[in-house]
């Protein structure tokens, strides 16, 4: 891989968009490499993913304008589908994902962060959907995920004005979970990932699935989905260890993903 890096430390995987000279802009090759990396993650050992950008200036500054500038209508739609297919795979990835947003998260970068389960950002982060100023709409789920996360009124304001917001405003509107000094961001993301990875993997995955899929269902169908996932945790080694440890007033000795 040239433009996307992947490393594993214990039960935590870290994906890094690595085009610092282009502010980590998303071109077709980046999307292809990100897709390949997601397919390669060992779900038996990796229990949480962190997604970030290389360098200090940018998480992902957007999709690659140079590549998009020559696209036809058909090619533009195909490029949007390529991005959406990868981001949907990330959104529905079996294990939790944390976006560690350092610097610019504009356009496709904001959309990439929103495809993750949890967003943490540095105090120098800048979010925005500037596409209408370029004569296009957001193309990688921006019109849909932003409205679901912060509400349609704020999403419309951000998208229609093409106005960027800083880290504090992103936290205020609920776009990010927390803001950290730049040099503390990755440590905070790793600490959260470790806490997630320390919980029962079957239960963690089932909980993510219930939330992600339940949001698009009527409440009656959503709670029925929850019931099935709740039941699926029983008779597992992790459930027996977790409840056994609670009743015996001790810490679990470790979850084995079985």
DSSP code, position 26: B
Name the phi and psi angles at 91, rounded to 5. -60, -40
Task: Select which of 111, 213, 220, 226 is catalytic.
Answer: 111
Burial class for 135, CB neighbours closer than 10 Å (0-12, 13-18, 19+): exposed
Residue 156, number of CB atoms within 10 A of its CB: 13
241 is catalytic: no
Name the phi and psi angles at 10, rounded to 5. 65, -120
Short-list 36, 47, 133, CA closest to 94: 47
131 is catalytic: yes
User: How far is the C-alpha of 76 from the C-alpha of 38, rounded, in Å?
Assistant: 24
Task: Select which of 131, 184, 213, 227 is catalytic.
Answer: 131
Q: Which residues are catalytic?
A: 111, 131
């Amino acid at each position: 891989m040239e433009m996307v890096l992947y490393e594993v430390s214990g039960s935590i995987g870290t994906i890094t968009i690595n085009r610092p000279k282009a502010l980590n802009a998303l071109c077709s090759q980046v999307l292809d490499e990100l897709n390949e990396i997601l397919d390669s993650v060992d779900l038996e050992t990796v229990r949480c993913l962190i997604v970030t950008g290389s360098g200090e200036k940018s998480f992902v500054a957007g999709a690659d304008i140079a590549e998009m500038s020559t696209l036809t209508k058909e090619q533009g739609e195909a490029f949007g589908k390529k991005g959406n297919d990868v981001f949907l795979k990330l959104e529905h990835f079996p294990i939790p994902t944390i976006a560690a947003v350092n610097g610019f998260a504009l356009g496709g970068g904001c959309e990439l962060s929103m495809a993750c389960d949890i967003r943490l950002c540095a105090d120098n982060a800048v979010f925005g959907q500037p596409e209408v100023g370029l004569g296009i709409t957001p193309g990688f789920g921006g019109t849909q995920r932003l409205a679901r996360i912060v509400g349609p009124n704020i999403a419309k304001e951000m998208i229609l004005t093409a106005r960027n917001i800083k880290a504090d405003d992103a936290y205020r509107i609920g776009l990010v979970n927390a803001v950290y000094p730049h040099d503390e961001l990755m440590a905070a993301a790793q600490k959260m990932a470790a806490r997630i990875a320390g919980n029962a993997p079957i239960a963690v995955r089932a909980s993510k699935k219930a939330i992600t899929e339940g949001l698009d269902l009527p409440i009656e169908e959503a709670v029925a989905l929850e019931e099935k996932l709740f039941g699926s945790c029983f008779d597992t080694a992790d459930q027996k260890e977790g409840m056994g440890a609670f009743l015996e007033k001790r810490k679990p000795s470790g979850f084995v993903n079985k």
